[in-house]
Structure 1
């Protein structure tokens, strides 16, 4: 099969389009003919890390059609379309993944959306509702609101009845973020996010902050009300996660760290992703796709995902 592989960590140019052996479908796995690949933030981080094997195929998320099932698999069948998550291997024509990490794609849902939904929407829901405990009429600040998790969080918070403050770079995004459910949009390139949050909340701050950036954690804490909650997930900013915890302690604020990798197979999380797939298929929510690249241009796709500040997910197709 063809795949985007790398031998050494580095910039997007380390990715090469090459022939590699077909994956083996294990007894608990399904083998997928990949139709759409979602480039996740973790893919960009992993590509800059030393691979455990060489050549290595990066990639957390894809969707496609099952062409083979393992001997122990009872709830999947050849021909079914599924969205899938695993820790590596999605940047390829074929992908073998545990059946427990796949979700059936509802009729009418585009495969690019199916590939992009589990991580972005599953993460956003876990951060907002499960860990963040977002309540009706509360105010939530969403950092990096134009990213996949951010766009999902806007819609989920809107449906929860919250006031949504979205922080993103570039004023041209304001109309789209407002359309998806943001009550206020802050252009972080033009205005100080903390000052704007305090102004919009009458000096109180946000009840909850969702931060997938990492480098903005100190600002996120400063934008919280006393006894507010901060949920930080990922490190899209690529810097350190050092923060001064003295004031959060004095203000009785709560910090929750989220790493979704081991959580997707938990029954509650798995069911939530299935329900969200149905919600998007029915048109109640939207998975925003910024641009689609062919897999043989994986290096260009990664470069675009890293530098172009896309609105939503970047997708590749074999």
Structure 2
């Protein structure tokens, strides 16, 4: 019978910058009914975690002693009563459909509900696995199941050098769509072109609407995929073709969101945690990611890999610097 034990985890006791993150010993109970305990091998960082740590995410941490982290890959150590899909030794990932103040995966071992665990793609290492689930499930859920992106469609992807942005470029290409990437300056233009962006708009020096319409022969894009929000969301709507669709999945710009008057158009707000709460959706995303990795059409861009929980403040500093491209991963062991 598995009993409670201690493990190391990253906690924070006050809101603030990366320096509030602390590695501490915590007690981990034995898995109860419907729960899975797994040893973490790698952790993928997400912008939401920096916002949560600073108190600017859409829900707030309970202090002191909040957990943190959405995304991790590891190996099952034990399961609770009623769990039939997993057994010790199975490689798994966190499904990022939970309150990470409670179930945060920044730790050596984590305990999650079975519905918050998904199998790792066959033959894929832990670092790669830690970089795929949230980014590709967001891109797939927003572009395919929400916006209905189709072959030949143009899609504008903001923040295209981020983990979700790079996943969206690959997802669009896999669908036969045409990705138009936006980034602030010139530094990442060539990398985005090499990743497969058909066109790159530098928002600090170029007019998004003018560039999108020029590239699409005047008609505009069928879809816009935005993780920024604020007044710039209206600009994306102005760049759409008549009847186009804009999907907002993040609010890095905390100013009020403005809507375009370039009607008709459809606007969606997208919550990945809601979709990944569905077993059917998790099954479809797992198949999409697994087949894409196996066939080489999906390959997560990993900007940098850190080592050990103690490196988490430095990893957060890099994430907030916006100088990297793709996903930041912290490897354990």
Q: Settle same-fold status: TM greater than 0.5.
A: yes
CA distance in structure 2 between the partners assigned to 1:51 and 1:192 by the alignment: 38
Residue 252 of structure 1 is matched in structure 2 by 264
- CA–CA separation in structure 1 for the residues paired with 2:176 and 2:121: 26
- How far did 1:52 drift? 1.6
**Contact 2:115 / 2:279 at 8 angstroms: preserved in 1?**
no
2:82 corresponds to which of 43, 59, 72: 72
1:288 aligns with 2:304: no
Conserved 8 A contact 2:181-2:197: yes
Q: What is aligned with 2:240?
A: 224
What does residue 276 of structure 2 align with? Answer: 264
2:326 and 2:224 mapped to 1: Cα distance? 20
RMSD, aligned α-carbons:
1.7
Kindly report which structure 2 residues correspond to 1:91-130, keeping only aligned pairs within 5 A, or say none: 91-130=106-145
Match of 2:4 in 1: none
Aligned 8 A contact 2:179 2:197 in 1:
yes
Q: Distance in 2 between matches of 1:125 and 1:78?
A: 30
Q: For 1:210-233, what per-residue CA distance to the aligned partner results, in whole angstroms no more than 9, with x for missing partners?
A: 001113312211211221110110
Cross-structure match for 2:69 = 59
Gaps of 5+ in 2: 1-6
Deviation of 1:87 after TM superposition, in Å, equals 2.8
Verify the 8 A CA contact 1:122 1:272 in the aligned structure 2.
no
- 1:141-180 per-residue CA deviation (whole Å, 9 max, x = no partner) reads 1111111111111111112222211112343423332233
Distance 1:151 1:268 in 2: 25
* Conserved? CA contact 2:170–2:297, under 8 Å: no
1:23, 1:94 within 8 Å by CA — same for their partners in 2?
no
Distance 1:81 1:73, change over 3 A: same
Moved more, 123-132 or 158-167: 158-167
State the alpha-carbon separation in 1 of the partners of residues 292 and 259 from structure 2. 40
Alignment of 1:154-173 (within 5 A): 154-173=169-188
- Number of residue pairs matched by the alignment: 314
Name the CA distance, whole Å, in 2 between partners of 1:153 and 1:122. 10
CA apart distance, 1:312: 0.6
Structure 2 CA distance for aligned equivalents of residues 254 and 178 of structure 1: 28
Tell me, yes or no, if the aligned pair for 1:114 and 1:277 is still in contact at 8 Å: no
Question: Partners in 2 of 1:281 and 1:145 — Cα distance?
Answer: 23
Q: Residues 205 and 223 of structure 1 are in contact (CA less than 8 Å); yes or no, is this contact kept in structure 2?
A: yes
| Map of 2:290 onto structure 1 | 277
Which piece of structure 1 moves more, 17-26 or 226-235? 17-26
Question: 2:19 & 2:182 partners in 1: Cα distance?
Answer: 30
Unaligned runs of 5+ in 1: none
